[in-house]
Chains A and B, each alone.
Chain A
Amino acid sequence: MTWNMDQAILLGCGVIVTWLTTVGMPKTRLVAFALIAFALLVPLPRFTVFDIIVATLGTLSVTTIANTVMVAMSRNHFVMPEASRAEFVSGMALLTVVGGALYASTFGFTLLDLYSFGFDERNFTLLAAPLWLFAIFKRWMWFVITIPLVAIAVRLQLLQSANWWDYVIDPVYWAVAMGKLVQQLWLGRRVATV
C-alpha cells in the first residue's frame, strides 16, 4: 500500500478525532476503536479495506476535516466552543443548498456548470468574504474559523485539486449536512409542538 497526501490527511484526521473523542472514554470503547482501525488496515487479497474506502470516498474537503476536528474539540470542551443552534442550522442549510446546486449542475441538470467557476480563486473570495464578515458580525465562530482555513488551503493548493469547490465541500459532508439539517428541523418542530 502506497501512502499519499489524501490518505495521510484522512488518517491524521482520524487519529486526532479518535484521541480527542476518547478522552475520558471507557476502556471498552477504546478497544473497539483500536479493533476497527486494525480491521481497516488488514490486507484483503490485494487491497486493504482502508484503500477501498479511500477510493470510494475520494478526497475529503478542508471544511470536513476542519469541522470534524472542531466537533471533537468542542465536545471535549477543548478550546473550541459549541456552535449555537442558529449557527449550526445555518451552516448545515448552506452546505445542503450549495452542495445540492453543485451536484445537480455536475449531473448536467443545468446548463450552467458551477464546478467550472471553482478554477478561479477570486470567485471564492467574492463569495466567502461577505459570509465571513456576516459571521464576524453574528459571532459565529465556526464560520469565522473555517472560512480562512479553507481560503489558506486553497491558496496553498494543499489538495490535489486546483478547484476551490473541492476544498469547500464533498459529498460525504453534504450527506451529513442534509441529515443534520433534517434532524434539527424535526427537533425544532417537536419542541414547538410540545
Chain B
Amino acid sequence: MLGWAVQAGAAAALAALFYATAPAYDNGWRWAHSTTLSAAKTASPEPLFEERIIDKGGGGFQHAATIIKIGNEFIAFWYSGEYEGTANSAIKAARFDGKAWSAAFVVTDQMSTARELGRFIKTVGNAVPYITDDGALHLFYTVVPMRGWSTANLAVKSSFDGGRTWTAARRLISSPLLNLSTMVKSAPLAGTNGSILLPAYWSLGTQYPLVLQVGKDMRVTGLHRMGNNRAGLQPTIMPVDDDKAVGFLRRLRDARKTGLRTTLTKDGGKTWSKPAETGLPNQGTPTVGLRLAKDRILAIFSERNEGILSFGMFNDDGSVRARMFTLPTKFRGNKAYPYAIQDADGTIDLMFSCEDNTAICHVRFNEAWVEQQSRQVSGAAP
C-alpha cells in the first residue's frame, strides 16, 4: 500500500508540474476591430463607378475571386479550371495598378500543392488573402483530397515580397475527422493577439459556420462555432465594436424557404445567436459585407438564381435598414460569389464571378455612388 501511495504521489506531482508548465492558452481572442471600421474613411463627394473584366488566362471555369491591397496595388485571386472540381485546377492571380489589370498568372495548382503537401490532391478551390502586421501576404485556400467539396481541407502559402514568390503550401489541421470538411470563402479578420480569425464552414453531411483562429506559425490554435447543424454556410463577419459583430450566412441549398440569415455575437465571437431570417433572398452564393460610415453595413448578396447581385443596408444589430438596388452592370450571365474591400479613401472594389463563371469581373465604386443609386431607385438615401 505504501508503494502505491509513493507511486501515486510521484505521478500526481508530475501531472501537476505538467499542468503548471502548460503553455498559456489565449482564450480571450477577439478581433482588432479598428482595422475593419471605416470611421476614418473619407468618403468622396463625387460618385464613382467603373467596370472591368480580368483576363481569363486561358478560359474555362473561373470562380470565387477575392482581392487585397498590398502597397499601392491590388492583387485578385481566384480558382480556375476546365470545370468546377476538375483535376487540372489552379489558383490564379492578377495585379491591378488602379488603371488596368495585368495578365493572369498561376500562384499554385493542384499538382504543385500535392507535391508540397506530400499528399494526393484532387483539386484546389476558394482562396482568401490576408496581410499580417509584418507585411507578409498569406493565402488560405481549399484543397480537396477526395471526391466532392465536402471533403475539403485548408492549406496556406505565404509571400514576403508582395506575392511574387511563395512558400511551399502547409496544411491547416481544423477537424478531428481525417481533417475533412473545412472550407473558406470570406475575408479573414485581425485578432487582437496577433492571430488571424478565419471565417470557415463545415459541410460534410451537416453544415455549419465557424471561425478558426490561426496563430503566427500558421497553425489552427482555436475554433468557435457560429451555429449548430444546418445554421448556414460561408459566413462573413462584420465587427461593429470590440465585442459585437454581425455574421451573414449563406442559406443551405435544400432550405428552399429561407433567405439571407444573420447571427450576432456580443462576446468577441465566442458565442453566436441563433441565425435569424432577414427576409432578403439569398440564392446559392455568399454575402459580402462592408461597414460604412454612419453605423451602417453594406451587404451585397445574390438576388435570384440567375445570379443578379443586390445591395442592401443593415444596421449594426443585424436588422435590415433598406433593400436598395441591383448592381447595374454590363456583364452578362450568372454573377456570383461577391467579395469586396474598402480602401482608406472610401473606394470599394467588388470582385465576382461573371459571364456564367467563365470570367472574373471587377466593379469599383464609392459610397457617393451607392447613395446616388439608392435615391434613383427609392427616392431616398439608405
Chain B residues whose C-beta falls within 8 Å of the C-beta of A163 in the assembled complex: 173, 176, 220
Cα-based distance from A178 to B115 in the complex (angstroms): 34
Q: Mark B5-41, 1 if CB is under 8 A from A, else 0.
A: 0011001100110110011010100000000000000
* Interface contact A122-B11, CB-CB below 8 Å: no
Cα-based distance from A156 to B215 in the complex (angstroms): 16
* Interface contact B18-A151, CB-CB below 8 Å: yes
* Interface contact A166-B173, CB-CB below 8 Å: yes
* Interface contact A107-B206, CB-CB below 8 Å: yes
Q: Which single member of B15, B121, B204 contacts A55 (CB below 8 Å)? A: B121
Asked whether any CB of chain B lies closer than 8 Å to the CB of A183, the reply is no
User: What is the interface size of chain B, counting residues whose CB is below 8 A from a CB of the partner?
Assistant: 52
Asked whether any CB of chain A lies closer than 8 Å to the CB of B224, the reply is yes
* Interface contact A129-B19, CB-CB below 8 Å: yes
Q: Which single member of B15, B170, B208, B225 contacts A132 (CB below 8 Å)? A: B15
Give the interface size bracket for A toward B: 35 or more
* Interface contact B25-A121, CB-CB below 8 Å: yes
Closest to A109 in B: B229
Asked whether any CB of chain B lies closer than 8 Å to the CB of A51, the reply is yes
Chain A residues whose C-beta falls within 8 Å of the C-beta of B120 in the assembled complex: 47, 51-52, 54-56
Q: Mark B146-184, 1 if CB is under 8 A from A, else 0.
A: 100000000000000000000000110101111110000
Chain A residues whose C-beta falls within 8 Å of the C-beta of B48 in the assembled complex: none
Given A52-B120, A54-B119, A137-B4, A116-B223 contact (CB < 8 Å): yes
Asked whether any CB of chain A lies closer than 8 Å to the CB of B57, the reply is no
Chain B residues whose C-beta falls within 8 Å of the C-beta of A46 in the assembled complex: 111, 114
Closest to B173 in A: A161
Closest to A52 in B: B120
Q: Mark B106-139, 1 if CB is under 8 A from A, else 0.
A: 0000010011111111000000000000000000
Given A7-B118, A125-B22, A137-B8, A162-B223 contact (CB < 8 Å): no
Chain A residues whose C-beta falls within 8 Å of the C-beta of B25 in the assembled complex: 119-122
Q: Mark A38-74, 1 if CB is under 8 A from B, else 0.
A: 0000000011000110111111000000000000000
Chain B residues whose C-beta falls within 8 Å of the C-beta of A120 in the assembled complex: 22, 25, 27
Given A2-B115, A51-B118, A55-B120, A171-B175 contact (CB < 8 Å): no
Cα-based distance from A103 to B206 in the complex (angstroms): 12
Among residues 212 to 269 in chain B, which have CB atoms less than 8 Å away from a CB atom of chain A? 213, 215, 219-225, 228-230
Among residues 52 to 111 in chain A, which have CB atoms less than 8 Å away from a CB atom of chain B? 52, 54-59, 102-103, 106-111
Chain B residues whose C-beta falls within 8 Å of the C-beta of A47 in the assembled complex: 114, 120
Given A55-B121, A126-B19, A137-B4, A116-B229 contact (CB < 8 Å): no
* Interface contact A133-B177, CB-CB below 8 Å: no
* Interface contact A58-B219, CB-CB below 8 Å: no
Least CB distance, B212 to chain A, in whole angstroms = 10
Chain A positions near chain B (C-beta within 8 angstroms): 1-4, 6-7, 46-47, 51-52, 54-59, 102-103, 106-111, 113, 115-116, 118-122, 125-126, 128-129, 132-133, 136-137, 151, 155, 159-163, 165-166, 169-171
17 A-B pairs within 8 Å (CB atoms) are namely: A6-B119, A46-B111, A47-B114, A47-B120, A55-B119, A56-B178, A57-B178, A116-B222, A116-B224, A118-B176, A122-B25, A129-B11, A133-B8, A137-B4, A161-B173, A163-B173, A169-B176
Closest 10 CB pairs of A and B: A129-B15, A108-B229, A161-B173, A55-B120, A4-B118, A108-B206, A120-B25, A55-B119, A58-B178, A125-B19
